[in-house]
A and B are shown apart, each in its own frame.
Chain A
Amino acid sequence: MSNSTGWNTIESDAGVFTELIEKFGVSDIECQELLSIDANSFDDIQPLFGLIFLFKYRKNDEENMKNEKPKLGRYVTEADLESWGFTKDERRLFFSSQTIQNACATQAILSVLLNNVNTIGEKNLGEELFSFYQFTEQFPPDLIGEAVSNSFNIRMAHNSFSRPVPFLDEEEEERRRKEAEKKLGDDDENDGLFHFVAYVPIGGRLFEFDGLKQGAIYHGAFDVSKSRNLPYEKQKETTSNRNTEPNIESDNNGLLSLSQLIESTLQARISLSPSSELRFNVLALTRDKRNILKETGASEYEINQEKAKRELWTKENSLRRENFLGLIFKLVKDVSAGIDNQNEWQQSVLEKGRAKSLERYNKNRRYF
């Protein structure tokens, strides 16, 4: 695995994403899964650096997704950035085109992190990502996408979550992965592909970063004073006294809060989906809850709960990396040696095993 250039698939899970972000060298950031997509849930995430919206789509929906023109919102133009009065820093919207299917979780995470360079700060972002951010400053989206997929450190962090297949040499493993990738590409049945899209509030406005599109998509302004979950006060100050225009989603009576705008944007997105049963998942990036609890002087109970959550993540992630070869072999060896009667071994293990395999195989045949 170490020398190959491929990207493995990783599970979209808050524990995996948090550890992945930490492996990028970022500190004080964690990922939280949201169980519902209403404004109240988003309000509870404080601060909210951005969301990763992930969903499964079918291969035949892909052309729709690659549509030049977004069905919701519109592409950001230079003139927009001018008229919104964005600062120099805010004007750089970090957008990377998706070049590798399996890298798209990492790309969505980077879209949230690197569009929050000011709010997260250079120190917490870490040297690795900050220099990557600087390195790609003049790059067009496709080149940034290439830079992500070619980054050795980013790929190593990403691939560290998958379990090595035992006994297969690199060539064979590479072949298997390519086949799996091809299968994803070929998909025409129910399995579908996962796609990750990032939503990030910048300068009092909501943006979408979808690597299959041409650029960042604008979803409207929100009322900064009504939004309780913006990352740090700094952003509030810089955006509250700017001119805001009426929101696409609301009437002239006022703007929605960030959470309300996200809710309506996601709802619209889901209802647009060609397949009626869109399977989706929403993950939010926020600060490390343990640090927040420490700062706010939370109770021992709350702190312990957070500790337990982290320990669980660590355990789950360690299970994801194991191929358990040693343990499997020892169990098989000891359990089977426990059956020392050759006849019994033939009958109650091997013969029974064949029958069970046959039964499963027969069950797999479905017809008419």
Chain B
Amino acid sequence: MGDLLTFKAGKVRYDETTKRATPLAGKGLVTVAHHEEDATFVSLVWERRGPGAVDSHDGSEETEREELLLFPGDAQWVHCKKCTTGRVFALKFKSSGDRLLFWLQEDNGQAEPGTLSAADNEISAVLNSLLNVLEENDGNDIVMEDKTGENTAALEDTLSTTNTGISIPILSITDALPISSFVAHIRSLPEQALKPYYDLMPETFEHTRENLIKVIQTPQFFSSVDTLSSVFRDSAGIGSLVASQLGYPYQGEGIEGFLNGARESGLRESENDRVAKDQEDVMEE
């Protein structure tokens, strides 16, 4: 998948304890694209442009390339209006309350260094639409150091971490039902209930409980569960196809739809078994 957005921006270091933000001298480039492995995420990559510069603050080397995986709806690109010596933006995360700061290095064609150009606003609009941001936040709560690092100003305490409790969907089947829950289930079953499971094992394995557990614990099994998870994540609208092929009542899209549908099907089966057993009992009486 191609890049969706690129712009020049440097990093800004934010110190939690002193609450100070320091723009780093290096030239950088931000590239935003859909994540290659998992289209649920938007990938934001910062990388150095041109020859390496060194952090003016403590002389340590900056990293050459950073990749962030962003979940749409969680991150937001916000202009820090209090900074007038440069155009500083914060990437704010609803889920963790973290903020990552950048300073724009695109030519703004303005006399005032802190003034946004039409192109800057365009970047914000495109990026926020990629990140699925609905409401606008003015980012007035961040105070910047000067680029020279001399005229420092304290950051307001609003930078402290707050968790706003954003919810994201289940991204992997094993997040809800870990492999250990499958193993515990197999261990709990009486031997005669294992037969239908044995029939689903690769033919090369002898039909024993321990082999069944061994198979469930292989990396190949785990990666198959992962692949199935990715089918639900990446292929919008596949839920009903899967439901009809596996024969469970459709309960919506995504992994949650699959889990709810599979459970519903399992509940109906055990209900049928119970009814059948009751009838048997009645016949016997």
Contacts and interface: CB of A to CB of B under 8 A. Distances in A.
Interface of A: 163, 165-168, 172, 179, 183, 189, 314-315, 318-340, 345, 349-350, 352-354, 356-358, 360-362, 364-368
Contact of B263 (A167, A330, A336, A353): A336
Contacts of A329: 246, 248, 262
A366 B66 contact: yes
Contacts of A356: 170, 175-176
A354 B224 contact: no
Nearest to B189: A334
Given A167-B242, A362-B95, A368-B13, A330 B227 contact: no
Contacts of B197: 327, 330-331
Nearest to B172: A357
B227 A350 contact: no
B100 A349 contact: no
A173 to B, nearest CB: 11
24 contacts: A166-B228, A167-B231, A315-B205, A323-B227, A324-B224, A327-B200, A327-B216, A330-B197, A331-B177, A332-B173, A332-B259, A332-B262, A333-B265, A334-B266, A336-B259, A337-B263, A337-B270, A338-B266, A350-B176, A350-B259, A360-B172, A360-B175, A365-B98, A367-B66
B276 to A, nearest CB: 16
B19 to A, nearest CB: 15
B96 to A, nearest CB: 6
A322 B266 contact: no
Contacts of A364: 69
A361 B65 CA distance: 19
Contact of A167 (B100, B218, B238): B238
B245 interface: yes
Nearest to B168: A358
Given A165-B227, A318-B204, A335-B185, A365 B266 contact: no
Contact of A183 (B36, B215, B220, B267): B36
Given A324-B221, A361-B168, A333 B177 contact: no
A190 B177 CA distance: 31
Given A165-B231, A358-B168, 16 more contacts: A183-B36, A314-B204, A319-B220, A323-B224, A327-B197, A329-B246, A331-B182, A332-B259, A337-B269, A338-B185, A352-B176, A353-B176, A354-B170, A362-B95, A365-B68, A368-B11
Contacts of A360: 171-172, 175
B196 A330 contact: yes
Contacts of B181: 335
B167 interface: yes
A322 B1 CA distance: 29
B169 A357 contact: yes
A247 to B, nearest CB: 43
Contact of A353 (B13, B175, B265): B175
A361 B203 CA distance: 37
A211 B202 CA distance: 36
A333 B231 contact: no
Contacts of B266: 333-334, 336-338
Interface in B199-253: 200-205, 215-216, 218, 220-221, 224-225, 227-228, 231, 235, 238, 241-242, 245-246, 248
B177 A349 contact: yes
B138 interface: no
Contacts of B215: 319, 327
A155 B69 CA distance: 36
Contacts of A333: 248, 262-263, 265-266, 269
B235 A179 contact: no
B176 A328 contact: no
A329 to B, nearest CB: 5
Nearest to B178: A356
B120 interface: no
A195 to B, nearest CB: 21
A164 B28 CA distance: 41
Nearest to B98: A365
Contacts of B167: 354, 358
A166 B95 CA distance: 32
B71 interface: yes
Contacts of A320: 220
A322 B169 CA distance: 27
Contacts of A334: 185, 266
Interface string B55-70: 0000000010111111
A33 B74 CA distance: 47
A67 B242 CA distance: 49
